[in-house]
Structure 1
Amino acid sequence: MNPAVGVIALVLVSLATAAIGFYGLRISRTTGDFYVASRTVKPWWNASAIGGEYLSAASFLGVAGLILLSGTDALWFPVGYTAGYLMLLLFVAAPLRRSGAYTIPDFTEARLDSRAVRRVTSVVVVVVGWLYIVPQLHGAALTIRITTGLPAWVGSVAVVVVVCLTVVAGGMRSITFVQAFQFWLKLTALAVPVLFIVFTLAGDGSAAVAPAVVNPTGLAPAGPYQNISLLVALLFGTLGLPHVLVRFYTNPDGHSARRTTLIVLGLLSVFYLFPTAYGLVGRMFAPELARSGQADAVVLLLPGQLIGGTAGDLLSALVVAGAFAAFLSTTSGLVVSLAGVISQDVLGGSVRGFRLAAVVSAVVPLGFAVMTDSLALAGSVGLVFAFTASTVCPVLLLGIWWRGLTDAGAIAGMVTGGVLCGGAMVWGTVLGAAGTPFWLAQPAAWTVPAAFAVIVLVSRATKHRIPRTMSRVMTRLHTPERPLVTER
C-alpha cells in the first residue's frame, strides 16, 4: 500500500470528524446538551451513533484477526457482542432511560441513596473507560505503522487530539452527529472492499495468491470453559459499558430506548458479517499474516494484497478511513461518558468542568497506550468486558430488578468483582499468553458469579440499609415516564 494513501485517508476522516463536531457546537448551549443531548435524540439517529461508538477497534480489526487465527472459535465474539444488546433490550434499556440520570453513578446514588456507592461506582466507571480506550489507541498505532510507515505513537496522538477537539466543542450532541456519520463510514469501509475481493475471487480468480491451508496457525481449538467464559463476559459486559449506557439517557422516553436497541441489533447483525468475511478470506488466501503476527492487520492489508494496483490502493484507503472512524467514534463515546462522571463528581458539573474532564479522560489512557504494547485487539477488549461484567453489570441489573439491594452489598460486589477480575488480568499479563492458565485468561465464568453472590449475601445481611426511597424509585424505573434525577 502506498503510504501517501494512508496519510490522505487519515487526514480526510479527521477533517470530516472535526467539521461535524464543530457543527455540533452551534447547537450545543445548555448543560443538558453537553451531557445527554437534552434527551431529544431519535431512535434511528441514536442507533447509528451507538453503532458508531460500540463497534470499536476490536470489532473493526480484531474480530477478523481472531477468525484468521482461530476460525469458528472466534465467532463467539460477534455473537456475544450482538447478543449483549438483546440483554440490554430485555433488562436495561427502558428502566435506565426512565431513571433520568446523566451517568451510571447518578443512577446508583439515586437507587441506593448513598454517596459512598456513587464514589465507588465513579472509580469503577473511570477504570473501565480507560481500560477500553487503551485498545482503541493501540489499534490506531497499529494502523498508522502498517499503512503509512510513520511512528506508531502518531496514530494514538492523532486520535486523542481529534477526540478532544470534537468532545470539547459540543459534548454529547456534537458526538451524536459524529458517531452516526462514523458508523455508516465504517460499514461502507468494510463492505465495499470485501465484496470487491469476493467478486474478484469468484469471477476470474485473479488473486495474487492461491487458496492455502484451512488452519494457518495450527492453534488448538478453545475448550468449553473458554467459550462459556467468553460468552459470559460479552453478554454481561455489554450491560455495564458506560459509553453505551449513557446513550439511553439521550432518548426522549423508554419506548424510544427500546426502539433504539432493536435498531442497533439489526445494524450490528449486518456489520459483523463483513469482518467475519475478512477473516475467512484471510485464512484461505493470506495465512502468512497469521504466522507473521499481523492478524489484527488482515482488514488493512487484504485489499492491497489480493487486488493490488490503483484499485487496491483506493480500497485500502477506504479501509484505513473506516478503521480511524472506529477508533475515533469509540474513544469519543468513552471520553464523553467519563467526562460526565469526572466533571460531576470532581468539577461541579459545569460545561467548563465537562471540557476539562474530557481532556483528562483522553490524555491519561494515551500515556498508558504509548508505554505499552498492543495485545490482540479483540482479546484485550474481551478482558475489559469481563471486568465490566464483574463490577458495573451486577449492580445495574440488581439495582433495576431486585428490591433487596443495599449500598453495602453493591460496594462489596463491585470491589470483589474488580479485585478478582483485575487480579486475573494483571497476573495473566505477568505470566504472558503462553504461561497463563485458561481460568485466568478467561476469568468471567467465575468472577461474574462471585460478584453477584457477594452482592446478594451482603445485601441480605444488611437488610436494615435498604433505602426508604426504594419503593418510589423502583416504581419510577418500571412505570413510564418521570425523571428520577433533576437536570442540572
Structure 2
Amino acid sequence: MWALVSMALVAAMTFYLGHRSSRFANTTHDFLVARRTVRSRRNAAAISGEYLSAASFLGVAGIILKEGADALWYPIGFTAGYLALMLFVAAPLRRSGAYTLPDFLEARLGSQRLRTVSTWFVVVIGILYMVPQLQGAGLAMTTLMPSAPAWFGAAVVTVIVTLNVLAGGMRAITVVQAFQYWLKLFAIAVPAFVLSAVFITGGGTETAGSLGSPDAPNFPNETTVSVQTGVSLQVRSETPVWAPAGAPNQMVWLPGYEYDIEAGTSLRFPAGAPVPVVEAATAENASWLRPSASGTEGLLSTYSLILATFLGTMGLPHVLVRFYTNPDGKAARRTTVHVLLLLGLFYLFPTILGALSRMYVPTLLMTEQTDAAVLLLPSAVLPGVGGQILGAITAAGAFAAFLATSSGLLVSVAGVVSTDVLRKGRVRDFRLAALLVALAACATAILLRPSDLSLSVGMSFALAASTFCPLLVLGIWWRKLTWAGAMAGICVGGGLVVAALASNVVSGYTGGWAPWFLEQPALFTVPAAFLVTIMVSLGTARSRPDDLNLVMLQLHAPDPLGFMRDRAVARFGKAEERVRLGKGRHRK
C-alpha cells in the first residue's frame, strides 16, 4: 500500500506539472522544440530524467545481479555515449536549425527520399525503446499487486504520458522530466545509502553468503519459491529440493542437467542449499566477479555492447530532439557536460543495489524476474515498516522513470510523424500523431514477450548506432557524404539489426536458439553501416548537394557569427502561430 500511494503521488505530480506548463504552449514551435529557450541546467536535468529509463532504474541492478562484472558495461556505456555526443554532434546539430532528425538529414543532403526512410527508422527506434518502459511499468505493478493483470501498468503509464504530451508537447514535459530526474536520484540514492549502512553494521536479515565466496548463493533459511512463468533451471552442485513444495519425498538435483519447471509450480529448498539459476544467469560468485568468464563469445558480446551503447546514444531520436530546444550550439555543448555529471552520479547507486540483491534476493535468479530486484530488496533486507517505506520510495522512482522516458519518446516520434507523415505539422497533427504512437507502443508492449529491460534497450541502442550514428558523424564531419551513400548505409545497418531483432523474437518462442551475435549485433552492423555509407558516397560523388559549403559553414561557424537559422519555421502552423512565436519565454 505504501508503494501504491507513492506511485499515485508521482502520477499526480507529473500530471500537475505537465498541465501547468502546457498553459504556455500554443504553437507548433512550442510542441516540437519548446520555443528553443530551455537553458543548459534545466535541459540537462530534463535529458537525464528522460534518459534514465526502466533499463537504468530497474534493469541495471537486475542484470548486475544476474551477470556480475560484465554487466558494469551497461552503466558505463549509457554514460560515456554522451562524451561522443558532446565531442561530435551536439553543437553542430543545434546550429543546423532543424526540428527533427529527418529534418536535419534533409537540410544536410537535400533528399526527400532519405528523409522519408529516416522517418520510419525514427518510428521503429522510438517504439522499440518505449516498449520496455511500458513492460517495466507492468512488472512494477504486478510485483506490488500480484493480482493485477500485466497490461495494467502499461495502460496507466500510457494514459498519463499521452495526456501530458497532448496538452503541451515538449513545452509541457520539459519541467516534468527535470523534476523526475531529481526524484529518481533521491529514490535510488536513499535506499542505497540506508541498505548499505544496514549491511555494514550487520543488521537486517541473514544474507545468502558472502560475495567473496567462490560458491553460488545459498538459501539462508528453508525457502519456498513460486515460479510464475515456465523456466529451465540448472545447478552447479548437488541441490536438495521438494518439487513441488508439498511433495513428501525430497529430491536431489544434479549438475549437468536442466530441470524444466512449469508455471505455477512451488519449490521448497532446505537451509544451506545452493540457489538454482536460469540458463542465462551466472551461478558461482567466482564467475560473477570475473569479467568475460564465459570465454571468447562473452568477450565479443561485451565489445558489441560497448560499441552499441557508446555510439547508439548519439542516434537516439528522443535524446537528440532535446538539443533542438537549446538557444544555441554553445548551450547544447554545455548541456551535454552537465548531463555527464548527472548520469555519472546516478549510476553509482544501481550498481550498489545490484550487488546487495545477490546477497538478499538470490531467489530472483530462479524466476527470471531480476528486474524486480530494486523493488523487492528493501523489504528483503528490512522486514517491517522501514523496508516498506524504502520500497515505496524505490517504486516512486521506478514509476517516474517509466513516465519520463515514455514522455520523451512520445514527443520525439510524434514530432516526426506529424511533420513527415501527416505533413502539415500543425498542433492538431502533432496531437493525432501522439495518440497513434502511444496506442501502437502500448499494444506492442502487451503483445510481445517481456525480456530483460537492459537487453531490450540494448537492441534499441544497436539500431540507433547502426543507422543514425554514421549519418550524423559523417554528415557533420565528412564533406563527401551523399544522399545515396546515406540511404544505403541506413538501409544496410538498420536492416541487419531489424533482422537480428526478428530472429530474437522468433527464438524466444521456439526454444532460445539465437546465438550471441543476434542478441548483440552492433559489432558487425555498425562497421557495415559505416563502410557501405562511405563506399557508396565515393561512388556517387556527383550527387553531393549544391549548397554544401553554406550548410557546412552553418554547422561549424561559431554562434556569435550569426549563421544559425531555424530552417523550417515557415512550414509549421498557421500565420497567427508564427506571429506568437516571439511572445513568452521559459522561466529560468
1:212 Cα deviation from its structure 2 partner: 4.8
CA distance in 2, matches of 1:484, 1:358: 23
Alpha-carbon distance, 1:285 to partner: 2.5
Whole-angstrom CA distance in 2 between matches of 1:36 and 1:190: 30
Partner of 1:118: 115
Aligned counterparts of 1:362 and 1:183: Cα–Cα separation in 2: 22
> Is structure 2 residue 517 aligned with structure 1 residue 435?
no
Q: Conserved in 2, the CA contact under 8 Å of 1:208 and 1:307?
A: no
Alignment partner for residue 357 of structure 1, among 433, 441, 447?
433
User: Offset at 1:163?
Assistant: 0.4
CA deviation digits over 1:253-292, x for unaligned, max 9? 1111111000000000000001000101112222222222
Instruction: String of CA shifts for 1:351-396, please: whole Å, max 9, x gaps.
Output: 1111111111111011111112210000111011101111111111
User: Whole-Å Cα distance in 2 between the matches of residues 55 and 256 of structure 1?
Assistant: 21
* Alignment match, 1:485: 567
Correspondence 1:59-70 to 2 at 5 A: 59-70=56-67
Distance 1:376 1:139 in 2: 9
Confirm or deny: 8 A CA contact 1:212 1:285 kept in the other structure.
no
Q: Does 1:345 align with 2:420?
A: yes
Counterpart of 1:27 in 2: which secondary structure? coil
The whole-number CA distance in structure 1 between the counterparts of 2:161 and 2:516 is 36
Matches of 1:134 and 1:416, distance apart in 2: 24
User: Match of 1:178, as an amino acid?
Assistant: V
In the alignment, what sits opposite 1:456?
534
Residues 346 and 119 (structure 1), Cα distance of their counterparts in 2 relative to 1, 3 Å cut: same
In structure 2, how many angstroms separate the alpha carbons of the residues matched to 1:161 and 1:25?
A: 16
2:305 aligned with 1:307: no
Quote the Cα distance in structure 1 between the aligned partners of 2:414 and 2:372: 31
Equivalent of residue 42 in structure 1, options 39, 43, 63: 39
Alignment partner, residue 450 of structure 2: 374
For 1:393, the equivalent position in structure 2 comes to 469
1:228 aligns to 2:303 (yes or no): yes
Aligned pairs (5 A) from 1:271-350? 271-347=346-422, 348-350=424-426
Partner Cα distance (1:111, 1:389) in 2: 19
Alignment match, 1:141: 138
Q: Which amino acid aligns with 2:521?
A: P
C-alpha distance in structure 2 between counterparts of 1:86 and 1:243, whole Å: 17
Which amino acid in structure 1 is aligned with residue 506 of structure 2? Answer: V
Are 1:238 and 2:313 an aligned pair?
yes
Within 1, Cα distance between the matches of 2:194 and 2:383? 12
Structure 2 gaps, min length 5: 218-276, 288-292, 573-588
1:474 corresponds to 2:552: yes
What amino acid sits opposite 1:365 in the alignment?
A
Name 1:72's counterpart in structure 2. 69
Output the CA distance in 1 between the equivalents of 2:24 and 2:512. 52
Q: Partners of 1:273 and 1:243 in 2: how far apart? A: 24
Q: Does 1:262 align with 2:337?
A: yes
Amino acid at match of 1:131: L
d(CA) in 1 for partners of 2:103 and 2:566?
A: 10
TM-score normalised by L of structure 2: 0.81
Whole-angstrom CA distance in 2 between matches of 1:440 and 1:371? 21
Contact 1:212–1:286 (CA<8 Å) still a contact in 2?
no
> Where does residue 420 of structure 1 map in the other structure?
496
Report percent identity of matched pairs: 52
Tell me the distance in 2 between the aligned counterparts of 1:180 and 1:333: 12
Alignment of 1:92-107 (within 5 A): 92-107=89-104
The answer as to whether partners of 1:251 and 1:257 remain within 8 angstroms in 2 is yes
Q: How many residues align?
A: 485
Corresponding residue of 1:159: 157
Compute the TM-score of the two structures, normalised by the length of structure 1: 0.97
Q: CA deviation at 1:206?
A: 2.5
**d(CA) in 2 for partners of 1:254 and 1:212?**
50
Q: Give 1 or 2: higher helix fraction.
A: 1
Tell me which amino acid in the other structure corresponds to 1:7. L
2:350 & 2:481 partners in 1: Cα distance? 41
Alpha-carbon distance in 2 for matches of 1:188, 1:401 = 40
Question: How many angstroms does 1:293 deviate by?
Answer: 1.8
Q: CA RMSD in A?
A: 1.4
